[in-house]
Amino acid sequence: MRVERETVRKLKVVRVDNGGEYRGQFEEYCRSKGIRLEYTVSKTPELNMLAKRMNRTIMERVRSMLAHAKLTKTFWAEALMTTTYVINISRSSPLDEYIPQRVWTGKVISYRDLKVFDCLAYVHIAKDKRGKIDPKTQPCIFFGYGNDEFDYRLWNLTEKKVI
């Protein structure tokens, strides 16, 4: 699990609402890893108000990004990943204006490499993959950030796939 890989702590408990989306495979996975699931009381959204509000905020941002970029719903996951990345590197009032990513990793956050969702980006084509007079770059659309530093997720306009 990512939580355990990034920290020295073992995930022990996950608190979820009783809506049903955390049943089945998720329950089995948690059980197999020794993670206890705690469920809120059914039909009591007030017990899960902060999480519900954050989910609504995230989905509003996803819809806005897709609309601005004039993209179809098929790209919702890319917009979601970018939205959560930006939230995690932004100041947070529940954390007394600290930045969640900095609190989690202890690393200083840089905004130098931030890009606009759906902006034009160019990927270098390796010398062995092109001819002498072929273009050295390929146009792509920026979709988000990968797991590594300086790792971007791009939509290859020619091949119609994420790289």
Say what the pTM is.
0.74
Residue 44 — very low, low, confident or very high, per pLDDT cuts 50/70/90?
confident
Indicate the average pLDDT of the chain: 86
Asked if residue 134 has pLDDT above 90, the reply is yes
Rg for the chain (alpha carbons), in Å?
A: 20
State percent of the chain over pLDDT 90. Answer: 41
Asked if residue 2 has pLDDT above 70, the reply is no
Q: What is the pLDDT of residue 86?
A: 93
Q: Please state, as a whole number, how many other Cβ atoms lie within 10 Å of the Cβ of residue 63.
A: 13
Asked if residue 85 has pLDDT above 80, the reply is yes
Q: What is the pLDDT of residue 1?
A: 60
Residue extents of the structural domains in the chain: 11-43, 44-162
7 contact partners, CB below 8 Å, separation of at least 6:
none
**Helix, strand, or coil (residue 151):** coil
CA 57 centroid distance within chain: 14
Q: What is the pLDDT of residue 140?
A: 92
